[in-house]
Amino acid sequence: MLTTRYVRDHLDEIKESLKRRRSDYPIEELVKLDSEWREKSTSLQELQAKRNKESLKIAELKKKGEDASEMISQMSGLKDEIANLEKELPEKESRIKYLLWNMPNVLDKSVPYGKDDSENVEIRKWGEIRRKTSKSHEDILNGLGLLDIERAAKVSGSRFYYLKNELVLLEQSLIRFALDELVKKGFTIISPPFMIKRDYYTGVTALGDFEDALYKIADPREASDDKSLERITEEMFLISTSEHPIASMHAGEVFSSKELPLKYAGISPCFRREAGSHGKDTKGIFRVHQFYKVEQFIFSREEDSWKHYDELLGNSESLYQKLGIPYHVVDICTGDIGTVAAKKNDIEAYMPSQGKYREVVSCSNCTDWQSLRLDIKYDEGGERKYVHTLNSTAIATTRTLVAIIENYSNDDGSITIPDVLVPYFGKDRIAKH
C-alpha cells in the first residue's frame, strides 16, 4: 500500500497537487504523525533493548546471590514507559493508515485549474452535426415499439428499462463492434466477476466517496431463518464498471518488465445507484442503474504511462468516428477530476434532442494510485516499481445507443444504422413494423 516514505519522498509534489485540488486533506497532520511515529518507534526499540540488557544484569546478580532490588525498582519505570509507547504507537499507526488510504492522487501538471465541471476545457471537436434537433430518443423508440420504461418501473423502480427486438440486437452489435476493434489492437477480452469484495473495492477507488453509488450485497441469512443458506463472509458489491475487477485481478503480483503492457478489454454489466442524481436525466436510458460497457484497461510501465493514455483516448475517439457520431473532447479540471485519476479526459457526444454534448467516455490515468494500494509491481533490472494503471470507456451501450438513435433518426420515425454496424446488425435501417 501507499507508504509514509513515499509521502516524504514526494511531499512538495503532493502539497502542490492538494493545493490545486483545493482539497482539505490534512497533509500536515500526516507529516506530523509520521515524524512522531518514527521518533517514538525508535524510542520504543531503544527502551526494549535497554530492558533486555537490564534483565540480563538482574538475572546475573540473582545468580551470584547479590541484591538486585534497586535495579528491579528501576525496571518498573522502564516497563511503564514501554507499555505506554506500545499503546500509543498502534493508535498513531491506525490514523496514519487511514490518512494514507484517503489521499487523492497527485495531479498531472497538464490538468486545468477549475472549481467544477462548468470549468472543464474543450480541446477539440470532431464530426459534422447533421441533425441539430430531433425528438428525444425515448419518443423515437416508443414510436418503434422498442423500449418499455413503464413496465420496468413497475418491476424494478425508476431508471430501469426493457429493450426489445431490434434495440437488443443493436446493443449486441455495438458490443461486438467495440470488442472486435480492440482485439485488432492487441487487447485481451475479459468477462470479469460481477461482484467484488470490499477490500478490493477500497484498493481501486476511494470507497468512502463512492460507496453510496454502489449496490451492496446483503447476507441472505440476515433476512431468513434458513440456516442452509450459504453465508457471505465478506462484504460484496456489484461492480459499477469492469475497470474495478480487472484492476484487482493482479493484486499482489510482480510482473517482469517484458510482460508489460497488459491490455484488457472488459465486457460486463455495470450497476450504479446514481446517488445524487435525483431529478437529472429522468427520461429514457441516458442515466440508468444498469447497462453494459466495454472498458479498456492497461497495466503499464511507469515510463510508458502517458503513451498508453494517448492510445486509450485515441481508441475511444476512433470508435465514435467510425460510428459517425459528432463529439468533442474535454480536459477535466482540478475541481471535477475526483480522487483516483492523475489526469482525465471525457468524450462528449452531441445529443440533438438536448442541443448539447453529453458524456459518453471517460479516460483516466491513475498512475500508481491503484497499484500502491493493490501492491502490483514490475521488476526492471532487479528494481521493483509500481505499475501504472489506465482505463477508458470504449462503449457504454445505453448512452451510445442514445447518440446513435438521435443522430441517425429520420423524419419518418425510422433509424438509419451506422455503416460499421450493418455487418453485425444485418440490415441498414430500423423501421416501424
Q: Binding-site residues for L-serine, please?
A: 241-243, 272, 295, 391, 393
Q: Output DSSP code: residue 320.
A: H
Which residue numbers belong to the known binding site? 241-243, 272-274, 288-291, 295, 359-362, 391, 393
Which residue numbers belong to the known binding site for ATP? 272-274, 288-291, 359-362
Cell numbers given for 366: 491513475
d(CA 14, CA 96): 16
Residue appearing with cell numbers 444485418: 426
What amino acid occupies position 313? L
What is the phi/psi pair of residue 208, to 5°?
A: -60, -35
d(CA 230, CA 95): 35
SS3 content of the chain, % helix, strand, coil (to 5): 45, 20, 35
Q: Work out the burial of residue 47: count CB atoms within 10 Å of its CB; fewer than 13 is exposed, 13-18 middle, 19 or more buried.
A: middle
191 CB neighbour count, 10 Å cutoff? 11
CA angle 338, 100, 366 (to 5 degrees): 40
Q: Output DSSP code: residue 358.
A: E
Cell numbers given for 233: 463472509
User: How far is CA 424 from its chain centroid?
Assistant: 31
